[in-house]
Chains A and B, each alone.
Chain A
Amino acid sequence: MKSILADNIVAISTPPGKGAIGIVRLSGPHAIRIAGFLLGGGAGKPLDARATHTLQRAQLAHDGVYLDDALVAVMKSPRSYTGEDMVEFHCHGNPLVLAGVVGACLKEGARGALPGEFTRRAFLNGKIDLSQAEAVAGIIEASSGRALELSMRQAGGELSRRVARLMAGLLDIRAEIEARLEFPEEEIEDDSGEGHSFALLRAAVECRALITAQTEGMRIRDGVRVAIIGKPNAGKSSIFNRLLRAERAIVTPEKGTTRDSIEETVMLDGMAVTLVDTAGICRDHGDEAGKAGVARSMAAVDLADFLLFIADASVPWSGEDHEITARSKGKRGLLVLNKADLPRRMELEDRPGELSAWKALWVSAMRGDGIEDIKKYIIGYNNTLYGESAEESAIVCSAQQSDALHRCDDGIQSALELSKQGGQEELVSMELKKALDALEAITGENADEELLDRIFSRFCIGK
């Protein structure tokens, strides 16, 4: 069956942040070829040589970056959900992994699916019936509203503001180029006094800055790192396990880490939090391996956004406690006074000065008391981070928005390249249009309509 639509769409198809596995779906005439780029070599038969409706295990990687150990399902047209060629990646349910897989597909030419688009294709290709389709029609409205709300909330308006500014800059350059193309006999003065190549450079910088801010935003959203520190036997591993036990632990995307590692990612209130158990690192210190462990443990503290200092409340404060807290200077964290089930031998007032600003919680890892409070506190911290990111430079975007920024950047870079060679204004303008069209995916506004307005408001044109 030939699909009526020419492009390839990709999206995460499982609900965000839940489940041990997450599925990325890819559909369209080139789905199998695109998926092939993620499988790399050595995975046995190439994907297109495989029979339809087969499952294979594969190590996904793209551009030299390892993504995940996943199962890949191939469903060939017409026997697929959408009726088109489809590939499903059954990955570990970590949002970072899934975003990585989607990102790789986008780079290979797929585009982010619109809400309900898989179902829409399924319907248009005659794969599902009327009642299913009508249900989807209702969902589309609802989900597009949610997506918008989400992006508004996440970005705090910062993304739209900066994109609008970038758009205005690009439009101005286009307006000047087009004015010269459309009115070759007019005396069009350079009213900006700088020429379009300078303005183009400025737009390029602004777009790159947005991408950086967006990358930073993703890191904050997906990778808040919480290091669990404290002297041996304070109960770090018990707390770590307690925190993991209630939530489903999932592997991190870093190559080589496994479920046995000392780093685990959990979903707390829908957001990913990476817990680092420095107990695992510090084990057996004294020997060579132990020294290396201490060094890694300290590095983990440095890398962490947030610290859980575990103190053993059944013994008094010791020099070791002071030694460890010295490393946490300037960090934010929570003081966990563990073993609250045992007779208390520790006074809060005597705590090391570095911890004086931190909140303290009495906890019993053994009985499970106070574990929920720790989680709430981490969630609260995470939320503050969000609030700050909106005001600072970080911007959180959806995969589609991020894709749009990259496409915009592509357009600007090509325009820069062309304008360096000189002439070819119509091609520079075409690349700028590509950049502007990409931004339309974020703002929902088409810049074409405004182009002529700009020309006539800036230049005295027309006979």
Chain B
Amino acid sequence: MHTYIYPKTYDCIVIGGGHAGCEAALAAARMGCSVLMLTGNLDAIARMSCNPAIGGIAKGHLVREIDALGGEMGKNTDVTGIQFKVLNRKKGPAVWSSRAQADKLAYSARMKRVLEEQAGLDLKQEMAARIMTADGSANTVECLTGNTYHSAAVIVATGTFLNGLIHIGESSFSAGRAGESAAVELAASLQGLGFQMGRLKTGTPPRLNAKGIDVSGMVRQDGDTVPLPFSFSSGKLNIDQVPCYITHTTESTVKIIRDNLHRSPLYGGRIKGTGVRYCPSIEDKVVRFPDKPSHQIFIEPEGRHTAEVYLNGVSTSLPYEVQVAVVRSIEGLERAEIMRPGYAVEYDYVLPTQLYPTLETKSVRNIFLAGQINGTSGYEEAAAQGIMAGINAALRVKGREAFVLDRSEAYIGVLIDDLVTKGTNEPYRMFTSRAEYRLFLRQDNADIRLMPCGRTLGLISDAQIAKLDRKKDLIREGLHNLAELRSENMTAEQLLRRPEMSWADLPRLGITGLPDYDAEVIEQIESEVKYAGYLKRQLEDIERFRKMESLKIPGPIDYSLMHGLKKEAREKLQKIRPVSLGQAARISGITPADVSILMIFLARESRLHPQ
């Protein structure tokens, strides 16, 4: 076979140009690494393979955090978004989460441009086939063309491409996603490196042509009057927003699906991978909730310059002709034409308990994994891992200390800790309820929580930090004003603390003299006031949590020598190789008694081998 060794040696190769790959490549390059991105299709950079939206509950938090670390997802969404909305506004600020409908093509094109312009980053259209190692450390990526690239670190962000298998009705074929070939050789290479793999399944609904859709009977859903940007660096968004529409399935939809269930690869038993409970297919919904007569469907535009729309809520892998019947049974879609059918895709993932919290694999040094390959679902979850993998690969190459966010610092920390500590056997999606310090980890304070980290890493500029400091001053000033200003015998702070009150209500209640702050500042002041007592309690919990996290476990440790530990506990610890006592305590099946034993053992170790 032809081989050609590319003369340039990179610091870091990123395999995959999706949401994880883009953030990984940008972070590493921005930290001064020479980076190569390999992708099977340069026109599919940052492609939104499923819904045309970024953010949503808990996902919006992730986008803000990525932004605070100098990532691109928030900025890219602000530039290419076509509808912005803060969800859960009627509930408490901890669960407010931004979501934007994005123009898919624009999103992809703008991200491609950013990558192209990034200094230190090369882009090449190549299918990676094999990762080679020397002395247990990754150093080479060989492509299907036979072209070979050397690099100090490799980040694998292949999404659903590893042994991807698409199912539509009775037919199935190899593909990473519709229209692109699967990564078969790379999957074999990863297996050859000794990684334990699993199989997952995800799916997507059909796309329709808008001209056959009658929205007259549907509920129109608009964006917020004042769209709130994701990125700290975006100014006010001055855009024309486009609406989405809500419709419903009918009794005949349910009947059509039921009559054709045997033709579904899911129920016909041909799909082996575990599906997403959070985005169930319409077949799943009908089977699992047989009493529900009708299901809500959202019609979302795929972009500003296309008539194609996304049929959110009808993810399906039924045969094409059944999909046509299903679509036409939905109110307002009686004459709709499918442009692309829905499908299910099965793919390999690497059991994420084989990773350190840096996303580096435990068994092969300098290989980092990010995104769906780790068993997650969602653009935002992928991007969050991407930026962390990129940062840690760069830190490794530069010989700097690793960067890990813990569960009390960020949703990103919760996400990665869950993956590497507990693992997952279904596509993992972020939820706010996964964050035990939810009141503290809000999207409104992601900047304050994480921009200083971004600065230390070299991903946030001094100018941005100066702007952040100004925002902090305003918040302090605002809080001070609230404590001072009174209406009769109540301070503004006391008034605002009532659950039903907001900043905007204060003048009506007789509070005058409040400065005119930006929405972002007000949001944060409100959160601080409303949650004051609870935040104090949560911060105490966080202090306790951090004590356990700070008790580091220096590797490698031979757990089989640990007297008093049960066999199961020894095996679990050996497998997960926790980096701290805190992480050890979170491994399922590890009891407080096990942790005590571990603690004593560690204290002895460090005394015997002072570092």
Contact B94 A426 (CB under 8 A): yes
Say yes or no: is A427 at the interface (Cβ < 8 Å to chain B).
yes
Closest to A7 in B: B544
CB pair B95–A426 under 8 Å, yes or no, is: yes
Chain A residues lying within 8 Å of B564, measured Cβ to Cβ, are 137-138, 140-141
Q: In this assembly, does B289 line the interface, its C-beta being within 8 Å of a C-beta of chain A?
A: yes
A4 to chain B: which residues have CB within 8 Å? 547, 550-551
Q: Is B58 an interface residue (CB 8 A)?
A: yes
B323 to chain A, nearest CB (A): 17
Is B592 in contact with chain A by the CB < 8 A criterion?
Answer: yes
CB contacts (< 8 Å) of B289 on chain A: these are: 460
Inter-chain contact B92/A462, CB cutoff 8 Å: no
B544, B551, B604: most-surrounded residue (chain A CB, <10 A): B604
Interface hub of A124, A182, A186 (most chain B Cβ within 10 A): A182
- Known contacts A123-B603, A134-B563; A425/B92 CB under 8 A: yes
Tell me the complex Cα distance, A438–B280, Å: 33
B158 at interface by CB-CB < 8 Å? no
Task: Determine the distance from Cα of A133 to Cα of B295 in the docked complex, in whole angstroms.
Answer: 61
Q: Closest B-chain residue to A461, C-beta based? A: B278
The interface residues of chain A lying within 8 Å CB-to-CB of B312 are: 463
Contact call A426/B596, Cβ cutoff below 8 A: no
Query: Which residues of A have CB within 8 Å of B593?
Result: 114-115, 140-141, 144
Known: A116-B596, A141-B593, A429-B433. A133 touches B604 (CB 8 A): yes
Is there a chain B Cβ closer than 8 Å to A198's Cβ?
Answer: no
Residues in B whose Cβ lies below 8 Å from that of A7:
544
Contact of B279 among A134, A423, A463 (CB under 8 A): A463
- A441-455 near B? 1/0 per residue, CB < 8 Å: 000100011011000
A13 contacts chain B at the CB level, 8 A cutoff: no
Given contacts A144-B591, A430-B534, A456-B277, 18 further A-B contacts (CB under 8 A): A4-B547, A6-B543, A6-B547, A137-B600, A137-B601, A185-B87, A185-B296, A187-B296, A421-B499, A422-B500, A423-B90, A423-B91, A444-B591, A448-B436, A460-B280, A460-B285, A460-B289, A463-B298
> Which A residues from 215 to 269 make CB contacts under 8 A with B?
none
**Nearest residue, chain B, Cβ from A115:** B593
Report whether A137 and B288 are in contact in the complex, using a CB–CB cutoff of 8 Å: no
Interface membership of A130, Cβ < 8 A: yes
Residues of chain B from 555 to 611 with CB closer than 8 A to chain A in the complex:
563-564, 566, 588, 591-593, 596-597, 599-601, 603-604, 607
How many whole Å from A441's CB to the nearest CB in chain B? 9
Interface membership of A184, Cβ < 8 A:
yes
CA distance A294 to B467 in the complex (A): 85
Evaluate contact between A182 and B600: CB separation under 8 angstroms: no
Closest to A456 in B: B277
Partner of B57, one of A5, A183, A451: A183
Q: Does B51 contact A (CB under 8 A)?
A: yes
Interface: A12 (CB within 8 A): no
Bitwise interface map of A from 130 to 155 toward B, beta carbon under 8 Å scored 1, else 0: 10011011101100100000000000
Closest to B533 in A: A427
Instruction: Check A181–B433 contact: CB distance below 8 A.
Output: yes
CA distance A137 to B295 in the complex (A): 56
A182 in contact with B534 (CB, 8 Å): no
Q: Is B292's beta carbon under 8 Å from chain A?
A: yes
- Asked if A186 meets B296 with Cβ closer than 8 Å, knowing A137-B600, A426-B438, the reply is yes
CA distance A144 to B593 in the complex (A): 7
Report the Cα distance A185→B298, complex, angstroms.
Answer: 10
Q: Is B232 an interface residue (CB 8 A)?
A: no
A137 touches B278 (CB 8 A): no
Residues in A whose Cβ lies below 8 Å from that of B544 = 6-7
* With contact pairs A114-B593, A423-B500, A462-B279 given, residues A184 and B88 touching in the complex (Cβ less than 8 Å): yes
In the complex, what residue of chain B is closest to A125 when comparing beta carbons?
Answer: B603
Minimum CB–CB distance for A142 against chain B, Å: 9
B499→A182 contact, CB < 8 A: no
Which residues of chain A are within 8 angstroms of B94 by Cβ–Cβ distance? 426
Collect the chain A residues with CB atoms within 8 Å of residue B374's CB: none
CB within 8 Å of A: which of B489-548?
Answer: 499-500, 534, 543-544, 547
What residues on A are CB-neighbors of B592 within 8 Å?
114
Q: How far is the CB of A430 from chain B (nearest CB, A)?
A: 7
Mask, B466-499, CB within 8 Å of A = 1, is 0000000000000000000000000000000001
Q: Determine the distance from Cα of A372 to Cα of B279 in the docked complex, in whole angstroms.
A: 72
**Residue B387 at the chain A interface, CB threshold 8 Å:** no
Q: List 28 A-B contacts (CB under 8 A).
A: A4-B550, A5-B547, A6-B544, A116-B596, A117-B596, A123-B600, A124-B603, A130-B604, A134-B600, A141-B597, A144-B591, A181-B95, A181-B433, A182-B57, A184-B57, A184-B88, A421-B499, A422-B500, A426-B92, A426-B432, A427-B92, A430-B439, A433-B436, A444-B591, A452-B433, A456-B277, A460-B285, A463-B279
A1-59, CB < 8 A from B: 4-7
Interface string of A195-208 (1 = CB under 8 A from B): 00000000000000
Query: CB-CB < 8 A to A429: which residues of B?
Result: 433
B313 interface contact, C-beta 8 A: yes
B279 CB contacts on chain A under 8 angstroms: 462-463
B431 within 8 A of A: yes
The answer to whether the Cβ of B106 comes within 8 Å of any Cβ in the partner chain is: no
In whole angstroms, what is the CA distance A181 to B543 when docked? 27
A183 to B432, CA, bound (A): 11
Please give the number of chain A residues whose Cβ is less than 8 angstroms from any Cβ of chain B in the complex.
Answer: 48
Q: A7-B544, A137-B564 are in contact. Are A181 and B603 (CB under 8 A)?
A: no
**Which of B315, B433, B499, B597 contacts A451, CB < 8 Å?**
B433
CA distance A462 to B279 in the complex (A): 4
- Assess the B432–A181 pair: CB atoms within 8 A: yes
A136 touches B433 (CB 8 A): no
8 A Cβ contacts from B74-92 to A: 87-88, 90-92
Contacts of B313 in A (CB 8 A): 463
Chain B residues near A117 (CB-CB < 8 A): 596
A69 at the interface (CB under 8 A from B): no
Q: Which residues from chain B contact A92 at a C-beta distance below 8 Å?
A: none
A182→B58 contact, CB < 8 A: yes
Asked whether A178 is an interface residue with its Cβ less than 8 Å from the other chain, the reply is yes
**The residue from A120, A186, A460 contacting B596, defined by CB atoms under 8 A apart:** A120
A116 and chain B: residue at smallest CB distance: B596
Minimal beta-carbon separation of A135 from chain B (angstroms): 10
Most central of B87, B600, B607 by chain A CB within 10 Å: B600
* B273-302 residues at the A interface, CB under 8 angstroms: 276-280, 285, 288-289, 292, 295-296, 298
Q: In the complex, A183 Cα to B95 Cα: how many Å?
A: 11
CA distance in complex: A7, B298 (Å): 50
In the complex formed, the residue of A with least CB distance to B604 is A130
- Could you tell me if B87 and A184 are in contact, using CB atoms closer than 8 angstroms? yes
Tell me how far the C-beta of B290 lies from the nearest C-beta in chain A, rounded to whole angstroms: 10
| Min distance, Cβ B604 to any Cβ of chain A, angstroms | 6
What is the chain B residue whose CB lies nearest that of A458?
Answer: B289
User: Is residue A356 within 8 Å, beta carbon to beta carbon, of the partner chain?
Assistant: no
- Nearest CB of A to B42, in Å: 30
Partner of A182, one of B298, B315, B432: B432
Question: Contact at A182–B433, with CB atoms within 8 Å?
Answer: yes
Do A114 and B596 touch across chains, with their CB atoms under 8 A apart? yes
- Specify the chain A residue showing the minimal Cβ separation from B422: A449
**A186 (CB) vs chain B CBs: closest residue:** B296
CB distance from B519 to the nearest CB of A (A): 20
Q: Is the CB of A178 within 8 A of B87?
A: no
